[in-house]
Structure 1
């Protein structure tokens, strides 16, 4: 465990004095989708759709459909999250019980048992119990989230039912801090607007991650030794 911590720290030392590197696009799913698919014919300028028309039928046309519809196409994901949640619960419970049992008469058996019992004890009041319990609980949750972002995503797969699987990644580096936005999910072609945009609430199985790496992020995280201690130590 100590060796693992040391090796991890040495890997971080190699980044001292350097800005965080961008994630390579080569080898990613988006890269494969774009380079494995041929450019559709309707994207390229084409002639008139028929002899009597002044307009062509391709997406380069003024009236062409520019929405993403197949593997390798690009669309814009609009993320506008402004959620508020407030939950408050209160519960109470009270319970009490009392039991008193005895056997004063039963074919003379209690009297015979009483002869062997200490003074003051008898089967007429064999045992008596009392119990009570009280519970009260209160809980509340207040949450507010707001996020407004736009990111270009690539259609990386066309499912047999026509649904498109999209992936998008955006990285912005400012000085020694790199901010990263990742979005993945499934969309229906019919939900893509005429502006070739789709809102996050129409993405099934949406996975949206907004974070970063660099000097500021490193300062906000505890050291590796402290993280190990927090995980291993039981107190």
Structure 2
């Protein structure tokens, strides 16, 4: 009797362990945007040999006096105006209709006269009809507006700038995080060293929160486990 109870206890422990392992396999995951890392960069220090020619203007440290400042080197910053509007709508309509009819009759039977055959009325007929109507509509709309200052983390051989940046704001144990990365053509940079996100290639934008407020909006692992078994 004791051995039977011990065996049942071991089986119960094994079942509980399997249940926990199954729950771990369905832990809720967080969607992640592949923002380029790192989100900041510092320009490399280039040693410049001192030139003792007595001149006031040196080529190594020369900056045009009336130059309009634009980001063009690693470590420079660029103001990005995020204006992303995405709207999509799809409608579909399907209609199928099919109708069929058939009829058959017997005109002659061996050893049976026509008058007798007419009295029997040996004939058959049938009709069939099939109708289907289907309609579907899908609509999605997203609007994202904001500003962020990004850092040039790489200069490509064609002169394009790879930028990346992030902004974190913490209020009362909650943190709002905004991350951005993309590729900029220097010719699209406007006065004021700004560029619109609609003119940035390979845009990656991520906005999410961390803290008690974000945790309250998520689903727990135990509820996620039961929903994976009975998704009702």
Q: Same fold (TM over 0.5)?
A: yes
Q: Is the 8 A contact 2:39 2:166 kept in 1?
A: no
Report what 1:132 is aligned to: 130
Identify the match of residue 199 of structure 1 among 196, 201, 207: 196
CA distance in 1, matches of 2:56, 2:22: 64
Q: Which residue of 2 aligns with 1:71?
A: 74
Task: Please list the CA deviations of residues 128-158 of structure 1 after superposition, one character each: whole Å capped at 9, or x if unmatched.
Answer: 340221314253636363x432211111222
Residue in structure 1 matched with residue 208 of structure 2 by the alignment: 211
Higher relative contact order (CA 8 A, sep 6+): 2
Residue 98 of structure 2 corresponds to 96
Q: Does 1:38 align with 2:45?
A: yes
8 Å CA contact retained: 1:30, 1:72:
no
Tell whether the 8 Å contact from 1:179 to 1:212 is kept in structure 2 after alignment.
yes
Cα distance in 2 for partners of 1:195, 1:173 equals: 28
- Given the alignment, which residue of 21, 29, 35 partners 2:38? 29
User: Which one has the largest radius of gyration?
Assistant: 2
The 5-angstrom pairing of residues 178-197 of structure 1 reads 178-197=175-194
Distance in 2, Cα, partners of 1:78 & 1:40: 35
Aligned to 1:151: 148
Distance change (3 Å), C-alpha of 1:40 and 1:210:
farther
Shift of 1:205: 1.6
Contact 1:57–1:64 (Cα < 8 Å) also in 2: no
Distance 1:234 1:121, change over 3 A: farther
Aligned-pair CA distance for 1:226: 1.3
Structure 1 runs not aligned, ≥5 long: 10-27, 51-55, 113-119
The number of residues matched between the two structures is: 189
Length-normalised TM-score, structure 2: 0.64
Q: Which structure 2 segments of 5+ residues have no match?
A: 1-18, 28-36, 49-54, 111-119
CA contact (8 A) 2:78 2:193 kept: yes
Q: Give 4+ residue runs of structure 1 displaced > 6 Å after superposition.
A: none
Whole-angstrom CA distance in 2 between matches of 1:121 and 1:192: 91
Q: CA RMSD in A?
A: 3.8
